[in-house]
Amino acid sequence: MFAADKKTVNAVIRCLEVLGEAAKHIPTSFRKKHPDIPWSKMAGMRDVLIHDYMGVDLKTIWKVAQERLPELKPMLEGLKPTKND
């Protein structure tokens, strides 16, 4: 079970933190060109995880890891910034 494996829980949380931090540094012009990417949600998740607002809900973390990240991965892999971004 996910919640029982602290090493995996911590690794998944850390990956989500890094992803959210990276989203915060994407230029606004680039984000506007790709509105299908949930930039704000990614950054917001990072904030919750880093600051532990009201505790971290491991069910939500597991759902994000199992459902949202697989949907997001091909979207992000398909992005290619240009010189203007």
The CA distance from 77 to 61, in Å, is 22
Task: Kindly report the pTM of this predicted structure.
Answer: 0.85
Q: Tell me which of 14, 31, 34, 51 is the catalytic residue.
A: 51
51 is catalytic: yes
* Residue 82 predicted with pLDDT over 80: no
Would residue 34 show up in a list of annotated catalytic residues for this protein?
no
Torsion of CA 21, 26, 32, 33, to 10 degrees: -120
41-77 confidence digits (pLDDT tens): 999 999 999 998 677 899 999 999 999 999 999 999 9
